[in-house]
Amino acid sequence: MPAVFKGLASQWPAVKKWDFAYLSSLVPDIEVKVVAGNREQGKTHFARSSLKAYLASLQGNELPDKDQLYLKEFDLLEAVPQLKGDLKPNELFPTKAKVAVQSWIGPAGARTGLHHDYLDNLAVEIVGKKRFYLIRPGVVERLGVVSSKYDSWATLAQSTAAELAEGDGKPGDYFFVDLEPGDVLHVPAGWWHEVTNLTPCLLFGGFYGTKTAVNSRWAWVMVRDLLHRMGWLGANNCTCHPAKRMGARSQAT
């Protein structure tokens, strides 16, 4: 079962002192690739932004617009190593686990469509408020709405969590939880989840497992990814390459 640990990271310096104005003031002015819209259920489009300007744009709490730009799976600690001291991941992860820590940074309304990951995840909310919809493993499979869209580290669903919950007669399979700064959520591998920012948010997510589990999963992912890049798996229907647009001007790259 997923579990939420309210306030478990509330003493982290990042939770106490980070906001988007502060982060914008200290990050280097590098270019980042952001995702436009809901690529899990819609088309995959990317845009370019300056990290500094992007963070500055999250300071207000503006109403969400249609094509949310979302900085996802971003290695903030590699881009800004001086921030590492503000996090205490050793307090959370099992000592022998292999961990990959990434950040999800975006405005109110930005979302990640329904999917499940292949590794356990610990999500730590640092800034803002975020809602996780969670669905028991096997439900999307039972309803026959697993998507054929390719993603290297996840399986995607064709529908939203709300659509499934409405049409399904088993309410005990559906959950949601709101995370606030300092809250930690454990999402076990295989649990379906859809995530929406209720305010501008910064979250760290750590995929982890034993060294053996992570390495064997990694090898499997690399093989599939090679097939994908050769065009044999998920061609023009993936979350990693922009969708081809018929007759459209090239807008996002």
Question: By the criterion CB under 5 A, which residues form the site for Zn ion?
Answer: 238, 240-241
Q: Which residues contact residue 70 at a Cβ distance below 8 angstroms, ignoring those fewer than 6 apart?
A: 34, 35, 36, 104, 105, 106, 107, 110, 111, 112
Closest contact distance (angstroms) between CB of 228 and Zn ion is 6
Side-chain-side CA neighbours of 15 within 13 Å: the count stands at 21
Contact 188, 120 (CB under 8 A): yes
Closest contact distance (angstroms) between CB of 10 and Zn ion is 38
Q: Which residues contact residue 46 at a Cβ distance below 8 angstroms, ignoring those fewer than 6 apart?
A: 33, 34, 35, 36, 242, 252, 253
Closest contact distance (angstroms) between CB of 48 and Zn ion is 18
Closest to Zn ion by CB, 213 vs 243, is: 243
Residue closest to Zn ion when measured from CB atoms: 238
Closest to Zn ion by CB, 224 vs 241, is: 241
Contact 31, 51 (CB under 8 A): yes
Closest contact distance (angstroms) between CB of 82 and Zn ion is 33
Closest to Zn ion by CB, 77 vs 240, is: 240
Helix (H, G, I), strand (E, B) or coil at 119: coil
Closest to Zn ion by CB, 23 vs 154, is: 154
Closest contact distance (angstroms) between CB of 56 and Zn ion is 30
